[in-house]
A and B are shown apart, each in its own frame.
Chain A
Amino acid sequence: MDLFLGIDVGSVSTNLVLIDYEGELYLRPLYLRTQGQPITAVQQGLVLLKEQLTSEDRIRGVGTTGSARSLAGVLVGADIVKNEITSHAVAALHKVPGVRTVLEIGGQDSKIIVLRDGIVVDFAMNTVCAAGTGSFLDQQANRLNLSIENFGEVALQAENPVRIAGRCTVFAESDMIHKQQMGHSLSDIVAGLCDALVRNYLNNIGKGKEINPPVVFQGGVAANAGMRTAFEKALETEIIIPQHFDVMGAYGAAMLARDQTSEQGRETRFRGFKVSSQDFQNCSFICQKCPNACEVIEIKQGKELLARWGDRCGRWSVTETEAGCVPV
C-alpha cells in the first residue's frame, strides 16, 4: 500500500503517523517521549513502524513538523518541513471539517488557531513563557503524587474547585501549596489548577480572538478530562476532542506530505527505514569568527555532513567544506 509518513518532534513527545491516499490512518499512531533526544526518538519510531509494515507497503512521502522539524527533516529526508500551526490546522480540518477554533496545548507550547471556511485566518502562540503548558501539569501531577493519566479523573471529582493564580507557574505552584496546607481536598485543588490554566490560556493566547464553535481541543493535554471540562465551563460550548488528539501535528504533516508529493508528482526524498540503524552525530560548537559567538549545530552521518544551522551570517550553512566540530 502507498503510505505517507508524518513526524512531529516536539519538546515532550515525538509522534509518527502513517496515512493512506485517502487520509485514513494506517496502523496505530506512535506517541513516544522525546526525552531530550530527538534523533534517537525518531529512529526508535521508525524501528517500531517498520516492524509492522508488510513488503507491499511503500512510503511515498514524508512530512515533519514540531520544534525539531528541521532536524527530523534532514534525518529522514522529508518532502516537506512545515510549522506546527499549519500542520495542526490541516489535521483538525480533516477530522472536523467545519472547525472554526483549534485549541492546542502541548509540552512547551500552546496555541490557538482561528479558521473560517477552512482557512486559517488568525493564530496566536504562547510567548517566551511556558506557563500553563503540558510540562507544568506534568510537574504538578508529580508533586501531588498523581500520575498524569489520572489527573483529569481526579479533577472531575471536585465539588468546589479552589481558585489558583494562573498567571505564572511559580505563583501557581506557591498558591497550590498554600491551598494544600489550608486543608483543601486534592480533587478541588486539581480542578482549580485546570481552571487556572484555562483562564491563563484564554487571557494570554486567546486574548481578543473570536472563539466560535465548533471548537476542537488537541495536543497532549487534551487527554486531561479536567482540562476539557474547564474549557467547556469557560467557553460555554461543547469541546470536541478528536480521537487521535495527541498526534494531530504528525497527522497534518503526513497530509501535507501527501499533497506535496502528489501535486508535484515526484518521488519521495525519504531516505528509507535504514535511517533508524544509521549512526548520526550531532554536535555543536561556538563559532569564533566574530563577536556574535553563534552556537552552530552540525548533523553528520559518518563523515558526511548533512546539515548545519544556528549561525546568523550563514557562513556555516553554506561553506560546507570548512571544518566545524572538532571530533572529540
Chain B
Amino acid sequence: MKIGIPRALLYYYYYPLWREFFTQLGLEVVLSPTTNKGILDAGIKNTLSEVCLPVKVFYGHVSALADKVDYLFVPRINRVEPKAYICPKFMGLPDMLKARLQQMPPFIDTAVDAGMDGNPVQCWVDCFQEVGSKFTHNHQLVNSSIAAAFRTQQEFQRRLTGGMLIPDALENDCVPEVAATSQQNYTLRIGLLGHPYNLYDAYISMNLIHKLQSMGSFVVTPESLSVDEIEDEARKLPKRLFWTLGKRMIGSALNFYASKELDGLIYLTSFGCGPESLVEELVARWAKQQGNLPYLMITIDEHTGEAGMVTRLEAFTEMIKRRQKHENHLSSHGEPLHSG
C-alpha cells in the first residue's frame, strides 16, 4: 500500500512525523519530487488565480503523485495549538483539491484540530488514531507507530534548534542543493524570515538561501528558534495573533531584533498571502524602531526571472558591508579607546 505525501506546504514542518507514522504502520511512503517547472505548471493550470503560489505548488505536487499511489495524505489542518488557526487556505485544502482535480486516489483528509484548549501533540495523536484505524485493527501497532513518529519528529526539531536548516535536518529525504552548502566563511549574519514552504523550496525561492550564502552571508531562519522562544516574543504584542504561522514570523522577528546579532533581515513572502500582508508591515516597522536594522522584503510569484532578486540581494548585502566599513572607519577616527 502506497501513501503519497506532497513535498509542499506543511511537509517542511511535519514530514518526519508523517513518514515515520506510516512507515511504522507498514505502509510505503511516496514523496513527490522536488518542485520543478512541470510541477509548477501543473499547479497553476489547476488552481484559481487568486490562491498564493505555495498552494499552487501544492496542487502540482498532488498531480505528480496522483497515478503513483493508493492514497494521498492531505490532512485537514485547522489548529495545531490552542486558540490559533493555521492559514484558512490549508483548512480547506482537501475540498479545494477535490473541486479542481479529477481522477485522484482517495484522500486521507482526517482533521487535525487542537480545539480551544488542546495541545500541539494531542491534535496529531487524535488524527493518527483515526488514520491508523483505517488501515489496521491492531491498536497496539497504531500506538507504537505514533510514539515512534513523535520520537523522529523530536529528533528533527532538535537538529533545527541546533542551527541546521530544514533541508539538512530532513537529510536523505530532501533537497540536496541547499543541504550541500556549509555555512562557513561568512562575513554577514542575515536573518531570513518566511514560511518554510517558500524558503526551502529551492525552485520557487530561486535558491535564495544558496544565493545569500554565496554572497558571504550566514543565514539564520525561524527554525533555529524553539517554540517557546518565539512564543515569548510574540506575547509582547498588544493583541495575540491568532494565525499560527504569522505569529511564528512575528515572534521570530522580535527574537532576532532582541538578540542583536544580525546584520540585516530579509523577509520572503509570496504574493497573495493575506496574513502576511499585515505581518510584513509590522515586521518592517519594528526593523525601523530597532535602530534601523537593514531590512529587505522580497515578494515571489510565478515569475522565473532571477535578475530582479539578484540585484536586490547584491545591493542589500553590499549596502550592509559598506555601512559596516564606514562605521568602523568613523570609530577609528574617534577618541582612542585606550590611552597611553
Contacts and interface: CB of A to CB of B under 8 A. Distances in A.
Interface of A: 67, 83-86, 117-123, 125, 127-128, 208, 290-293, 295, 312-313
B123 to A, nearest CB: 35
B171 interface: no
A106 B326 CA distance: 29
Nearest to A70: B307
Contacts of A313: 177
Contacts of A83: 310-311, 314-315, 318
B299 A208 contact: no
Contact of A291 (B38, B288, B301, B307): B38
Contacts of B37: 291-293
B100 interface: no
B312 A86 contact: no
Given A84-B311, A85-B315, A86-B318, A128 B39 contact: no
A86 B322 CA distance: 10
B33 A123 contact: no
B294 A128 contact: no
Given A128-B303, A312-B207, A120 B323 contact: yes
B285 interface: yes
Contacts of A312: 202-203, 206-207
Contacts of B226: none
A208 B311 contact: no
Scoring B206, B311, B318, B322 by chain A CB atoms within 10 A of each residue's CB, the highest score goes to B311
A70 B255 CA distance: 38
Contact of A123 (B36, B304, B319): B319
A-B complex: 9 closest residue pairs judged by Cβ atoms:
A85-B315, A291-B36, A291-B38, A83-B314, A120-B319, A292-B36, A83-B315, A119-B326, A293-B37
Nearest to B314: A83
Nearest to B330: A117
A214 B2 CA distance: 66
A83 B326 CA distance: 20
A119 B329 CA distance: 12
Nearest to A85: B315
Scoring B36, B207, B314, B319 by chain A CB atoms within 10 A of each residue's CB, the highest score goes to B319
Contacts of A120: 315, 319, 322-323
B203 A292 contact: yes
18 contacts: A67-B307, A83-B310, A85-B315, A85-B318, A119-B323, A119-B326, A120-B319, A122-B319, A123-B316, A123-B319, A128-B271, A208-B285, A291-B33, A291-B37, A292-B37, A293-B36, A293-B38, A312-B207
B290 to A, nearest CB: 13
B268 interface: no
Contacts of A85: 311, 315, 318-319
Contacts of B271: 128
Nearest to A291: B36
B14 to A, nearest CB: 25
B39 to A, nearest CB: 7
Contacts of B206: 312
A209 to B, nearest CB: 10
Contacts of B33: 291
Contacts of B36: 290-293
B315 A86 contact: yes
Contacts of B288: 208
Interface in B192-216: 202-203, 206-207
A86 B318 CA distance: 8
Contacts of B311: 67, 83-85, 125
B340 interface: no
Scoring A117, A127, A295, A312 by chain B CB atoms within 10 A of each residue's CB, the highest score goes to A312
